[in-house]
Structure 1
Amino acid sequence: MLTVDRFALIRQRYRDGLTVRQIAAELGHSPKTILKALANPEPPPDTRSTPRPAPVFGPFEAIVDAILDADEHAPRKQRHTATQIFRRLVQEHHYTGSYHPVQRYLKDQRRDRRETFVPLDHAPGQRCEADFGHIHVDIPEGRLLVPVLILTWSYSNAPFAIALPTERTEAILHGMAEAFGFFGGVPREVWWDNPATVAIHVGRGRERTLHPRYAALCSHYSFAGRFCLPATPREKPRVENRVKDLERMWATPVPQVKDLAALNEHLRRCCLQARERTCGTNTETVGVRFTRDLAAAGPLSLRPFEACVFGTGVVDKYQTVAFDGNRYSVPRRYAFRSVTVKGFVDRVEIVADHQAVASHVRSYGSHQRVLNPLHFLAILEQKPATLDHAPVYRDWALPAVFTALRTDLERRLGPRAGVRQYIQVLQLLARFSLDHVTQAVTVRLARGDPTVASITTTAERLVQTSDTAMSPRDARLSQVTVPRPDLARFDRLLPRSPEGIDHDRSKHDAVEGEPQDPQVADGAGRVREAGSGGSQSR
């Protein structure tokens, strides 16, 4: 089929005086084609209403349709191309035609199979979209691939991004709690793909079984968890585009930071700067539209959410309990007992008897022991050899004065007695802070009498001194005087008889055992006032 340029060239040659036969011979077309070009300045449109006949390929169309139907359930990157279908037809079905009929047929079929969409618009405050992106950052230890959680409001396109050590459930809980605090409000819905850390089971349609801790997050902040259909990320296009912004704008060039905290400061600045831009066909900035999102959003909860996952375990003979492939120590009195382990994104807490008994920095390694030397002080006196042979004490980085103390005690009392005295000093760390014990040891070494009794006395004196030290705020509060309450003012609130006799007051005075002391009566009044919901203090 001739193009418009070819038609123009034919007409120019005819204008220059060439005949139809001369133009046909020069350009390689038939005289009939030259006459069509001279009669029409442009090629006529293709008016065929039926597909071009393909007598050789026609019997193979059903085979190609079966291949395309099977591709609907195959991974996107493992579907047939036109070339692959052509090769299969030749090798498996002895197709003798050319490639072009196959290509034209696939083009028509795929055009008819393409999905179409209805334009959507979301109300302010209605929903957020969540997803993870991944970027490389340069830290002092080298280049690191970091997962970044992104939340974006569907109406305003206002983003939030936070770098996390993993994509586990506790990291998602932590990141979403930080996002809601950053936004200052909570959407009615949060849309995800179908990560197993959020939806532990994908049912038919949009039926999902939520992870118990994510369900607790939804209940705490009063939002609904929503999920896209499998393999349809187009249902949350806002956050998908924000992932591209993360990779191409916020992390280009590659950020050079000290740690994840510094990276998160950079990402927060990028999120705030994104509010000054406009998106798509909107004439208003993201920040202006975000004010409407925030006005329609739900309020934050008054108490913080505990962004952790729970586990249970039994403490073994080494005073450790297993969690996420590692073992964490607890104090001696909780050995051989069942405990609850809380896994946060940055720490691990161990709970027994409804209280936290140990806290450790979270380890993301494998088969590691995270031990606190203070947890083993109770058995150190019974097994003093562990002081030099157990890694928990051998690698314990104490101030240099402790080494000087042990040397002095062993020199004066002998190796065995000196070590036992030194162990008793270490056991003081269960009562006092490391700073107080270090100061006490320093003072007693300087005076030449570093004994357990003298160090204990000095540490107690240091604690008392720090407790009695008054801050400027406490000093100002100590100068405030509160006058004693005048209970007679409350008598005016009591009902009186027409004769002016206060029956309630006289009845009250006649009852024996009523508290008459003003301070006691005032305290009782405060109790009654606190228990009544409708009273107001003046």
Structure 2
Amino acid sequence: MLVVETVVRIRREHAGGKPIKEIARDLRLSRKVIRKAIRAPEGAFDYHRSVQPLPRIGPFQERLDTLLAENEARSRRDRLRMTRIHDLLLREGFEGSYDAVRRYATRWAEARRKDPGVGVAAFIPLLFRQGEAYQFDWSHEDVEIAGKPMRVKVAHVRLCASRAVYVRAYPRETQEMVFDAHARGFGFFGGVPLRGIYDNMKTAVTTVFVGKERVFNRRFLVMADHYMVEPTACSPAAGWEKGQVEHQVQTIRGRFFKPRLRFASLEELNGWLEAECLRWAAMQAHPEHKEMTVAQALELERPALQPMLASFDGFHETQHAVTGTCLISFDRNRYSVAAKAVRRAVQVRAYADRIVVRMGDEVIADHPRFFGRDRTIYDPWHYLPVLVNKPGALRNGAPFQGWDLPPALARLRRKLGSDDDADRRFVRVLAAVLSDGLDAVEGAVREALDAGAVSDEVVLNILSRRREPPRPASIVTPEDLALMHPPVANCARYDSLRGLHAAA
């Protein structure tokens, strides 16, 4: 391709009457090139190949088109690099270079943009009033918890007017996590907007119809009614309808989660994320009102938010059967329940950080939630009614291994010893917890130990004395002490008491 200076020289010399043959000889160019430069409008001389030969890609063109189309359909996070696509072709026998694949992919993308059937998406900017709406979405981020790599699910909540953000990491994207994220997000913002904008996530939307008509999950609607929020679902594949939180996902990923975060626990990570949300709001300028920060805009929006009277009781309830060993299976782990529920159906309420087991209206277990698998979580007190009848299980029973007893009870067990008789005597003391309560038993044990008595009989005696109702205290006045019948000095009265024979 000729440079502009050469084209201008050719056109100027030809205009001066110099023959094409001489110009070609002087510049060492073909007469065909000289004629094309002369005929080019306004000195433009661009060479475009009408047909691009593809000696290497030719046999693999259809396969490469398929890979490029599949890659474009993926989310931005999951798209393959061009080096990876080149490697996939090499595995299938392709012998061409990476540059050939890259150039073809560039031309393929340009052709897609020029295709009127594809086109470039156009959007309409959105404007929200203060307190009108918030947007909610999930993202997946890689962190390191307690020295192990972990992919966490991060809930993103964003106020549309002030642009305030709140993020929190969870092990799952289940419904109870959604409820917890809303409660914590509204608490962070200091109020509740009128409307929530979501995608069609399964924890919120049950059925998607044409247009904006949706069937929302019943439990999700109960939460929305509790906070007086109108839920709105986006159209499928229309992320621009909640573009603020979509953009937030990319921003937070780059600013908060890179380089990879390392924390001892998920609670520690979430504490750091909340502090970073506050720091980001204090430093970031509002995109529309440059004179104020996001934190200042949030302060202005708070009066327009609905007051948050109480957090929603955000649990997901399922029914389970209790085994003969007082255990239920939930989320690939086992949890103990009170012995009274053996072989009965119970309701498990799963929260983001704990599970509560109920039998009717009675709570029979409350455990911190474990997100691993194949682990058994015991509460030894659940097995106390069974232990009373089987005291020999105290030594080898799985629930009692490493039992963290109250200090007074732990001292009593050490002083009693570790033989079978000592176990039976200690179980007798534990059995009193069922009738007197743990605090009363611990107080009686402490009193016995302070007196130097290491005996189950002494502890039970103290409890028995404490159970007896106290005698009512009498109030004695001087009038009560006065005699109603004053004594009379009469010795004959003694004779009457001795009888007739005594008088004779």
Q: 1:156 aligns with which of 148, 158, 162?
A: 162
8 Å CA contact 1:327–1:367 kept in 2: the answer is: yes
Q: Which amino acid aligns with 1:393?
A: F
8 Å CA contact 1:163–1:264 kept in 2: the answer is: yes
Counterpart of 1:310 in 2: which secondary structure?
Answer: strand
Q: 2:208 aligns with which of 202, 212, 221?
A: 202
The aligned residue for residue 425 of structure 1 is 429
The aligned residue for residue 455 of structure 1 is 459
The alpha-carbon deviation at position 437 of structure 1 amounts to 5.3
Task: Give deviations 1:218-252, integer Å, cap 9, x for gaps.
Answer: 11111122222223323222111111122111122
8 Å CA contact 2:332–2:374 kept in 1: the answer is: yes
The aligned residue for residue 197 of structure 2 is 191
Task: Give deviations 1:68-110, integer Å, cap 9, x for gaps.
Answer: 9xx79x955899x9x9xxxxxxxxxxxxxxx99x969944753
Over the aligned positions, Cα root-mean-square deviation in angstroms equals 4.3
Instruction: Note if 1:358 corresponds to 2:365.
Output: yes
Q: 2:119 aligns with which of 114, 118, 124?
A: 114
Q: Could you tell me how far apart the structure 2 residues matched to 1:121 and 1:27 are? A: 61
8 Å CA contact 2:112–2:118 kept in 1: the answer is: no
TM-score, normalised relative to structure 2 = 0.70
The alpha-carbon deviation at position 400 of structure 1 amounts to 7.6
The alpha-carbon deviation at position 386 of structure 1 amounts to 1.6
Q: 2:183 aligns with which of 174, 177, 182?
A: 177
CA gap of 1:321–1:107, structure 2 versus 1, over 3 A, is closer
CA gap of 1:45–1:283, structure 2 versus 1, over 3 A, is farther
CA gap of 1:384–1:263, structure 2 versus 1, over 3 A, is same
8 Å CA contact 1:134–1:247 kept in 2: the answer is: no
8 Å CA contact 2:147–2:264 kept in 1: the answer is: no
CA gap of 1:224–1:460, structure 2 versus 1, over 3 A, is farther
The aligned residue for residue 43 of structure 1 is 44
Q: Which amino acid aligns with 2:425?
A: Q
Moved more, 18-27 or 372-381: 18-27
- Structure 2 counterparts to residues 488-499 of structure 1, below 5 A: none
CA gap of 1:298–1:442, structure 2 versus 1, over 3 A, is closer
The aligned residue for residue 321 of structure 1 is 328
Counterpart of 2:154 in 1: which secondary structure?
Answer: strand
CA gap of 1:457–1:238, structure 2 versus 1, over 3 A, is farther
Q: Could you tell me how far apart the structure 1 residues matched to 2:359 and 2:178 are? A: 26
Q: 2:36 aligns with which of 33, 42, 67?
A: 33
Unaligned segments of structure 1, at least 5 residues? 47-51, 55-63, 84-98, 464-538
Q: Could you tell me how far apart the structure 2 residues matched to 1:21 and 1:459 are? A: 125
Counterpart of 1:180 in 2: which secondary structure?
Answer: helix
Q: Could you tell me how far apart the structure 2 residues matched to 1:312 and 1:185 are? A: 34
Q: Which amino acid aligns with 1:381?
A: V
8 Å CA contact 2:286–2:297 kept in 1: the answer is: no
Instruction: Note if 1:123 corresponds to 2:131.
Output: no
Q: 2:380 aligns with which of 373, 379, 391?
A: 373
The alpha-carbon deviation at position 181 of structure 1 amounts to 0.9
Moved more, 394-403 or 338-347: 394-403
The alpha-carbon deviation at position 449 of structure 1 amounts to 1.4
8 Å CA contact 1:409–1:422 kept in 2: the answer is: yes
Task: Give deviations 1:355-379, integer Å, cap 9, x for gaps.
Answer: 3232111122334433211111112
- Structure 2 counterparts to residues 380-529 of structure 1, below 5 A: 380-398=387-405, 402=409, 405-406=412-413, 408-409=415-416, 415-430=419-434, 441=445, 444-445=448-449, 447-455=451-459
Report the identity percentage.
Answer: 24
Unaligned segments of structure 2, at least 5 residues? 53-61, 87-103, 468-504
Of structures 1 and 2, the larger Rg is shown by 2
Q: Could you tell me how far apart the structure 1 residues matched to 2:287 and 2:28 are? A: 48
8 Å CA contact 1:134–1:145 kept in 2: the answer is: yes
The aligned residue for residue 340 of structure 2 is 333
Q: Could you tell me how far apart the structure 2 residues matched to 1:342 and 1:355 are? A: 12
Instruction: Note if 1:238 corresponds to 2:244.
Output: yes
The aligned residue for residue 7 of structure 1 is 4
Instruction: Note if 1:253 corresponds to 2:259.
Output: yes
Q: Could you tell me how far apart the structure 1 residues matched to 2:346 and 2:315 are? A: 16
The alpha-carbon deviation at position 23 of structure 1 amounts to 5.1
The aligned residue for residue 136 of structure 1 is 142
The alpha-carbon deviation at position 145 of structure 1 amounts to 2.1
The alpha-carbon deviation at position 297 of structure 1 amounts to 3.0
Q: Could you tell me how far apart the structure 1 residues matched to 2:279 and 2:407 are? A: 49
Q: Could you tell me how far apart the structure 1 residues matched to 2:250 and 2:312 are? A: 30
Task: Give deviations 1:42-64, integer Å, cap 9, x for gaps.
Answer: 53999xxxxx999xxxxxxxxx9
